[in-house]
Amino acid sequence: MKILFTFDPEKELRNQLIKTFPQCEYDFVKTINDAGQLLSQAEVIVTMGEDLEDHHIEEATSLRWIMVTSAGMEMMPFEKIKEKGILVTNARGIHKIPMAEFTIGLMLQHAKQFIPLNEQEHEEIWSRRLPTSELCDQTILILGTGAIGQEIARLAQAFRMVTIGVNTSGTPVKYFDRIETIANLESLLPEIDFFVSVLPSTNKTRYILKKKHFEMMKASSVFINLGRGDVIRESVLLKVMEDQDITHAFLDVFIDEPLKEGHPFWKMKNITVTPHISSTTKMYVPRAFDILKHNLRTYIHNKGDYINIVDVERGY
């Protein structure tokens, strides 16, 4: 049984995998375009998820399972995959810890004025006049109440924050003091201090945030987008920040990534740009490999207890 990796994992992880499953044959290529004939022989493809196209699926005539070591499924050729009846699993769930830590980190960076403190330090200025604040007693609204949203809410509650979640059903979710449906979003906006989106990109989430939403928020409030860039049009968000409807936006995701040099987001004082890094830590690939190993054992022994099967109809 041949397993083709379309990326090059660290030596240690690779060796550990080979040692655990010596019955498999492994091929590691740097990109899928280097795979050549290996593609037609592979029964399993392990991919970071943004490289597979229809013609690869056609060429991979032995393919039975695709393990994606990320969670973003927008680039997957699901039509073709469905046609061939190929199993897809992914690494969703491993993002929640780093992304929740990143979110709290950004909120504290804002509340504790770490960037202005850093600028003062460069000038050797000792001044305690910065408008530092607290997370305690502040209200956070999280768009998306899945694993990532819940982990953010859990930590926010530890900080004695009030947590409001918005999802499609309005059904109660652990760690949220209150859950509302998206239909009630507008009535919530005037109360909140932090507005966090961890929404994926789907037909239902694309461009759902409008200028009016930010106009309803406090001038002191903060927007954090760690989900997908297309939850709001770039031109709309630019206008929001130019008009200072809110005080700051932290953006980790963009409609076109990498964000181009010269893009106005880079330059605006009240926008912080980070390079889609909230889930990326050195723990990322090891955690994805834990899922891979579990699922590989399941595949080999035909046990049927896969973690994270992707519904190829729905695309997630």
- CB 278 → its own copies: shortest distance, Å? 8
Most distant CA atoms of the chain, gap in Å: 67
Q: How far is the CB of 104 from its own copies (least distance, A)?
A: 6
Beta-bridge partners for 44: 3, 65
User: Per CB under 8 A, does 109 bind its own copies?
Assistant: yes
Q: Which amino acid is at 203?
A: N
Query: What residues contact 24, with CB distance under 8 A and at least 6 apart?
Result: 1, 2, 3, 18, 296, 300
Q: Which of residues 145-174 bind its own copies (CB under 8 A)?
A: 154-155, 158-160
Structure tokens at 302: 């035909």
**From 73, 272, 299, 312, residue interacting with its own copies (rule: CB under 8 A):** 272
Q: Which residue from 24, 273, 286, 298 is in contact with its own copies, where contact means CB under 8 A?
A: 273
Applying the rule CB under 8 A, the residues between 29 and 48 that interact with its own copies are none
By CB under 8 A, residue 140 contacts its own copies: no
| Min CB(286)–its own copies separation in Å | 11
Closest-CA residue to 204 (of 223, 228, 170): 228
Q: Are 241 and 251 in contact (CB under 8 A)?
A: no
- Name the pairing type of β-strands 222-225 and 65-68: unpaired
Residue 196 touching its own copies (CB under 8 A): no
Q: How far is CA 281 from CA 101, 133, 218, 287, in A?
A: 11, 28, 33, 10
Calpha distance 253→84 (Å, rounded): 32
Written as six digits, the tokens of 294 are 């579990």
Question: Residue 85, by phi and psi: left (phi above 0), alpha (psi -120 to 50) or beta?
Answer: left
Stretch that binds its own copies, among 87-95, 108-116, 291-299, 303-311 (CB under 8 A): 108-116
Q: Minimal distance in Å, beta carbon 114 to its own copies?
A: 6
Residue (79 or 256) nearer to its own copies, CB? 256
DSSP 273-310: E--S-TT-STTHHHHHHHHHHHHHHHHHHT----SSB-
Smallest distance, its own copies to C-beta of residue 281, A = 5
Nearer to its own copies, 65 or 175 (CB): 175
Residue 120 touching its own copies (CB under 8 A) = yes
Mind spelling out the 3-state secondary structure of 91-114? CCCCCHHHHHHHHHHHHHHHHCCH
Q: Is 127 near its own copies (CB under 8 A)?
A: yes
Closest CA relative to residue 30, chosen from 43, 47, 12: 47
Residue number, 282 or 314, with CB nearest to its own copies:
282
**Which residue's CB is nearer to its own copies, number 131 or number 304?**
131
From 11-19, 21-29, 109-117, 239-247, span contacting its own copies (CB under 8 A): 109-117
Which residue of 97, 142, 217, 237 would you call a contact of its own copies, by CB under 8 A? 97
258 in contact with its own copies (CB under 8 A): yes
Question: Which spans of this chain sit near its own copies (rule: CB under 8 A)?
Answer: 97-98, 101-102, 104-105, 108-109, 111-112, 114-115, 117-118, 120-121, 124, 126-128, 130-136, 154-155, 158-160, 257-259, 261-263, 266, 272-277, 280-283
